[in-house]
Amino acid sequence: MSFTATAMMLLAAALVKAQESSPPPTAAPQENPGTAAAKPAKKKSSHAYDVLIRGTVFNEKALSFPGVEVRIRVAGEKKYRWETHTNSRGEFAVRVPPGADYEMLAHVRGFADQKHTVSAKNGEDEETVVFLMQPVAGGKR
């Protein structure tokens, strides 16, 4: 008998022995429809009601602009609370709490800063923004 055949026979014997020694699976108990109310409700995500602000940043040639810094703050505040950078496709997405207006700033060296205001008071769960960056005269690229 070859080594491969012997190894396969030993493996088959081990599998049969493992199946015999393991306890049989038990059936899950059936639930009454009345007991379903006694279970606690599944927790929702803490971001379940947030507003998603997504957008795209383009350069002066209307091409996607990766690596642009996007900062967001509540309108009227000094401190920016959220910050992200555009991905390789010039896109970004940030979740913010509903019920406020938000100021957005797109910044990259050699280009003029672009600002947008987004309202998260209207009950929508998603807002879309597009930035078109303009080069600064004499700025480095």
pLDDT in tens, 63-121: 999 999 999 999 999 999 999 999 999 999 999 999 899 999 999 999 999 999 999 88
The pTM for the full model equals 0.64
Tell me the residue range of the domain where 95 lies: 51-132
**β-pair partners for 27:** none
What is the Cα–Cα distance from 26 to 114, expressed in whole angstroms?
A: 63
CA 10 to chain centroid: 49
The Cα angle at residue 78 between residues 91 and 140, in degrees rounded to 5: 50
CA distance 78 to 75: 9
* CATH number for the domain harbouring residue 101: 2.60.40.10
Give the number of domains in the chain: 1
Q: Is there a domain that residue 18 lies in? A: no
Strand 69-74: give its sheet, edge to edge: 82-85, 69-74, 101-107, 114-119
Residue 75 inside a domain? The answer is yes
Residue with tokens 């002066």: 60
